[in-house]
DNA sequence: TTGAAAGCGCTACCAA
DNA sequence: TTGGTAGCGCTTTCAA
């Protein structure tokens, strides 16, 4: 979409919209379009024997204009027969706006929580008659990405994470986006924000462990790229919860593979920790397995707390204590978007929407 | 996108593109657009003191036309200053085609395998200068969905699963889609197919268990909606592998929650099975935990085989035997798409692309 | 009740 | 080397 430097090959054999010269010499206004050509509203009009205006009225159920029932039928019939589908680009070009809400597609595997959230959001926005489109932006960053999105002239843009700066927001707004909403750890100048600072997760875990008497607390930080946006705040949250106490926080980088976990577990006793917050339940499972294989007793020697409240945590033995994430409902976000679209001049709202509650089980 | 029955409120206070009547009486051709209006190439042209044609040439690096360096600079400068971003809809309307590849956004949580696949695909298609867009189609089915997609006039459509019929394909092609590719269990008339029949997964599991001497084989079938597309073929594959032998296949519906697993495990001995294929590794974990809690020894009494080769399978005890899925590379699919787009008249290709190999560990 | 026509933003042909 | 201009498909005002 960004550029069209390489138009598709001329496609000599392919069906094309242009009339082969001289092929239809005596039919200046054929009743129906050439087979293979994409039918337009003009084609429908011709077939129905009415004007394009009438076609538009009928197909859009325009109530401002009264069209006779027989005409309506003829138009609908013609549209059906031709397989006519309106051209969204032409329509929104003419209208001067679209109902497209654009989100960048996540570049990393997302868990069930996020998937569910996206889904709810799509449903809720769909109910408000918006269309949600996830735009595949891979390896494109910041302003460049914002420009690419802006080319589509979405009415609203939702950006998870922290990939968008004030300049990007400005680009989008200049291009007609009536609402830019970030879902991330911090507010961005000019954009609405659903503050999803994951520090609450770490904070919950840290406070819980402290309350349970733990003082030397490790925090697993995934080595996987793309996860810093979540892992850094979670770590910071633990730090914040323990600030001013006698507890210590030890950062534990860990790749999501068995070998790494085994190596970490091997030097566990040397680390002298009595608790660990593992970023999420998957890393918890990984580490807990390694710890148990290394003979470290959970929770006696080391308490383990995960996050995200995945099903698998309940299946582990000991059952995994976890931090449950309270994500805003898709409906709420959809309403925020709709409000913002209707009144783009309003001051950006900023809501802290992430809740966290500890679900205590057996591991800590 | 489908319809625009409720245009955004008139937005009296909001910035708008229209010039307030009489507000700028003596300036018929203002040098720069009103603040708040979305800049167009005409604005850039005015500011740079050139024609719109020249702007287009410069910004698209048209090599057919030679523009002097000073002019180029002036144009680029003006574009930058105005924050000009081209209007993709207008461009593709004019061009008569886009480079948009459309995929429906999956309606259910997808695992890391699929995520990775989508990602690779986006990267690969991006390299070929296509733009991938995931379209949120929730609760919209079959032909209706196809129509909604067709409105965007994508150059290609990739449809995972089996939600698209021959009529839908026809709608898309009539609307100018030069390639329709299905990724699912069966071919669809008129569309290219990457046959991803998950029966190979079940087949691999069934054959493996049979070879290991198991004869009374249970197959877990998730109750979750949206998964039938995968679970039915996997079950069928097991059946096929055991067809004509003395082995029996027992279908075991199972919801993805602990209670259901416990209930299933409680009547396990009554079922008289000596093996179970659990649809995937997650259900394997769920069931294996319940079996162990019920005192059923794995693999002695019952062998357990999962699928998808998730990390968690290696962490279970006993380590989970699983069926590894060999998914086609995103690059391959991207090339198929590109080929199809370049030659839409070519006969639809149909490739069986799913491979399955059993990774034997301890559970079966 | 229906039609003619303007124009959304852009590119590409042809002329200067 | 640059500009004028037609027209992509659609909606909507104004006239008939």
Cross-chain Cβ contact A311/B258 below 8 Å: yes
CA atoms lying within 13 Å on the CB side of residue B238 = 33
Average pLDDT, stretch B261-281?
A: 98
Among A108, A363, A95, smallest CA distance to B114 is for A108
Residue A13 has pLDDT above 60, yes or no: no
Write the residue in B92, B119, B344 that is nearest to A107 by C-beta.
B119
Average pLDDT, stretch A217-228?
A: 93
What pLDDT sits at residue A141? 77
For the CA of B180 and the C1' of C10, the distance in angstroms is: 28
Residues of A in contact with B107 (CB under 8 A): 119
Structure tokens at A363: 């591991």
Dihedral sign for Cα atoms in the order A258, A264, A267, A270? negative
Q: What percent of chain A has pLDDT over 70?
A: 90
Residue A8 has pLDDT above 50, yes or no: no
Residue B2 has pLDDT above 80, yes or no: no
- The CA distances from residue B81 to B32, B35, B105, in Å, are 10, 12, 37
Q: Which residues touch strand C (CB under 7 A)?
A: A 7, 49-54, 57, 65-68, 70-71, 90, 93-94, 96; B 17, 38, 40-42, 52-53, 55-57, 59-60, 62, 64-65, 84, 86-87, 90-91, 93-95
3-state SS class at A328: coil
Among A208, A212, A207, A182, smallest CA distance to A196 is for A182
What pLDDT sits at residue B137? 77
H or E stretch at A305? strand A303-307
Which residues does B105 contact at the CB level (< 8 Å), separation at least 6? A118, A122, A132, A134, B134, B135, B136, B137
- The CA distances from residue A259 to A7, A254, A255, A317, B109, in Å, are 48, 10, 9, 21, 28
Structure tokens at A311: 């099903």
- The CA distances from residue A40 to A37, A79, A92, in Å, are 9, 9, 15
In tens, the pLDDT along A46-83 reads 999 999 999 999 999 887 778 899 999 999 999 999 99
DSSP code string of B34-88: PTTSPP-HHHHHHHHTS-HHHHHHHHTT-SSS---HHHHHHHHHHHHHHT----H
| CA pair distance A117, A183, nearest whole angstrom | 12
| CA pair distance B200, B234, nearest whole angstrom | 7
In tens, the pLDDT along A137-156 reads 776 777 899 999 999 999 99
Whether the link from the prior residue into A318 is cis, omega within 30° of 0, is: yes
CB A169 within 8 A of CB A190: yes
Structure tokens at A107: 């570049």
> How many other β-carbons are positioned within 10 Å of the β-carbon of residue B346?
13
Nucleotide C11, nearest residue via CA and C1': B94
Residues 85-124 of A with CB under 7 A from strand D: 86-87, 90-91, 93-95
Average pLDDT, stretch A258-283?
A: 97
CB B169 within 8 A of CB B191: yes
Residue B13 has pLDDT above 50, yes or no: no
Residue A244 C-alpha, separation from nearest chain B C-alpha, in angstroms: 37
Which residues does A334 contact at the CB level (< 8 Å), separation at least 6? A121, A124, A125, A127, A128, A130
CB A97 within 8 A of CB A176: yes
Residue B294 has pLDDT above 60, yes or no: yes
Cross-chain Cβ contact A99/B134 below 8 Å: no
Unique residue bearing structure tokens 């006039």: B153
Which residues does B352 contact at the CB level (< 8 Å), separation at least 6? B195, B197
Which chain B residue is nearest to residue A98, measuring alpha carbons? B1
Write the residue in A90, A126, A344 that is nearest to B11 by C-beta.
A344
Residue B114 has pLDDT above 90, yes or no: no
H or E stretch at A101? strand A100-104
> How many other β-carbons are positioned within 10 Å of the β-carbon of residue B2?
15
| CA pair distance A347, A86, nearest whole angstrom | 36
CB A311 within 8 A of CB A320: no
Residue A99 C-alpha, separation from nearest chain B C-alpha, in angstroms: 6
Residue A10 has pLDDT above 50, yes or no: no
Residues 4-43 of A with CB under 8 A from B: 4-9, 11, 13-15, 17, 38-39
What pLDDT sits at residue A152? 97
Name the phi and psi angles at B120, rounded to 5.
-55, -40
Unique residue bearing structure tokens 């005890």: B317
What pLDDT sits at residue A32? 62
Residues 289-348 of A with CB under 8 A from B: 289, 311-312, 314-315, 341-345
What pLDDT sits at residue B32? 63
CA atoms lying within 13 Å on the CB side of residue B256 = 14
Cross-chain Cβ contact B171/A118 below 8 Å: no
Q: Give every strand in the sheet of B321-326, ordered side by side.
A: B248-254, B216-222, B275-277, B303-307, B321-326, B355-359
What angle in degrees, to the nearest 10, is found between the helix axes of B281-293 and B258-266?
A: 50
| CA pair distance A208, A176, nearest whole angstrom | 46
Q: Give every strand in the sheet of A303-307, ordered side by side.
A: A248-254, A216-222, A275-277, A303-307, A321-326, A355-359
Write the residue in B88, B109, B174 that is nearest to A1 by C-beta.
B88
Write the residue in A98, A110, A286 that is nearest to B1 by C-beta.
A98
| CA pair distance A105, A12, nearest whole angstrom | 36
| CA pair distance A268, A261, nearest whole angstrom | 10
Average pLDDT, stretch A189-202?
A: 93
Mutate which: B122, B315, B338, B361, vs A, most A CBs within 10 A:
B315
Task: Tell me which DSSP letter residue A103 carries.
Answer: E
The burial of A305, by beta-carbon neighbours within 10 Å (0-12 exposed, 13-18 middle, 19 or more buried), is given as buried
Nucleotide D6, nearest residue via CA and C1': B94
Relative to beta strand A355-359, strand A321-326 is antiparallel
Write the residue in B98, B118, B344 that is nearest to A1 by C-beta.
B98
What pLDDT sits at residue A14? 32
What pLDDT sits at residue B106? 87
Dihedral sign for Cα atoms in the order B145, B146, B148, B149? positive
> How many other β-carbons are positioned within 10 Å of the β-carbon of residue B131?
23
Spacing of C-alpha B144 from chain mean position = 18
Q: pLDDT band at residue A36, thresholds of 50, 70 and 90?
A: confident
Among B68, B363, B111, B364, smallest CA distance to B213 is for B364
What pLDDT sits at residue B33? 60
List of E strands, chain B: 100-104, 131-135, 156-160, 179-184, 192-195, 216-222, 248-254, 275-277, 303-307, 321-326, 350-352, 355-359
User: Between these two residues, B116 and A208, which has the higher pLDDT value?
Assistant: A208
Over chain B, what is the mean pLDDT? Answer: 89
Residue A243 has pLDDT above 90, yes or no: yes
Tell whether pTM > 0.75. Answer: yes
What pLDDT sits at residue A31? 57
What pLDDT sits at residue B109? 79
For the CA of A7 and the C1' of C12, the distance in angstroms is: 14
What pLDDT sits at residue A5? 34
| CA pair distance B154, B89, nearest whole angstrom | 12
3-state SS class at A156: strand
In tens, the pLDDT along A320-356 reads 999 999 988 999 999 999 999 999 999 999 999 999 9
Residue A44 has pLDDT above 80, yes or no: yes
B71 touches strand D (CB under 7 A): yes
| CA pair distance B321, B230, nearest whole angstrom | 19
A38 touches strand D (CB under 7 A): yes
């Amino acid at each position: 979409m960004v550029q069209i430097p390489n138009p598709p090959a001329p496609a000599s054999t392919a069906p094309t919209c242009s009339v082969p010269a001289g092929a239809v010499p005596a039919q200046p206004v054929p009743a129906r379009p050439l087979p293979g050509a994409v039918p337009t509203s003009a084609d429908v009009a011709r077939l129905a024997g009415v004007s394009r205006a009438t076609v538009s009225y009928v197909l859009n159920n325009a109530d401002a204009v009264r069209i006779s029932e027989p005409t309506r039928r003829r138009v609908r019939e013609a549209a059906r027969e031709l397989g006519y589908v309106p051209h969204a680009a032409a329509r929104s070009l003419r209208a001067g706006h679209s109902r497209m809400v654009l989100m960048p597609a996540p570049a990393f595997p997302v868990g069930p929580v996020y998937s569910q959230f996206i889904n709810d959001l799509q449903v809720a926005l769909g109910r408000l008659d918006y269309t949600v489109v996830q735009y595949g932006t891979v390896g494109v960053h910041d302003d460049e990405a914002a420009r690419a999105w802006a080319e589509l002239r979405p009415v609203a843009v939702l950006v998870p994470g922290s990939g968008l700066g004030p300049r990007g927001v400005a680009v989008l707004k200049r291009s007609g986006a009536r609402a830019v909403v970030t879902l991330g750890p911090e507010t961005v100048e000019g954009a609405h924000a659903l503050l999803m600072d994951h520090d609450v997760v770490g904070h919950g875990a840290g406070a819980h462990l402290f309350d349970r008497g733990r003082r030397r607390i490790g925090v697993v930080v995934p080595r996987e790229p793309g996860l810093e946006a979540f892992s850094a705040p979670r770590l910071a949250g633990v730090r914040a919860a323990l600030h001013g106490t006698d507890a210590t926080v030890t950062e534990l980088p860990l790749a999501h593979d068995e070998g790494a976990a085994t190596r970490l577990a091997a030097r566990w006793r040397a680390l002298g920790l009595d608790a660990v917050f593992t970023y999420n339940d998957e890393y918890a499972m990984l580490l807990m397995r390694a710890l148990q294989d290394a003979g470290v007793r959970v929770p006696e020697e080391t308490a383990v707390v995960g996050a995200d409240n995945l099903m698998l945590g309940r299946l582990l033995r000991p059952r995994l204590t976890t931090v449950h994430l309270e994500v805003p409902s898709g409906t709420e976000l959809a309403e925020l978007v709709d409000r913002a679209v209707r009144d783009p001049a309003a001051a950006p709202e900023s809501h802290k929407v992430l809740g966290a509650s500890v679900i205590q089980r057996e591991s800590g």
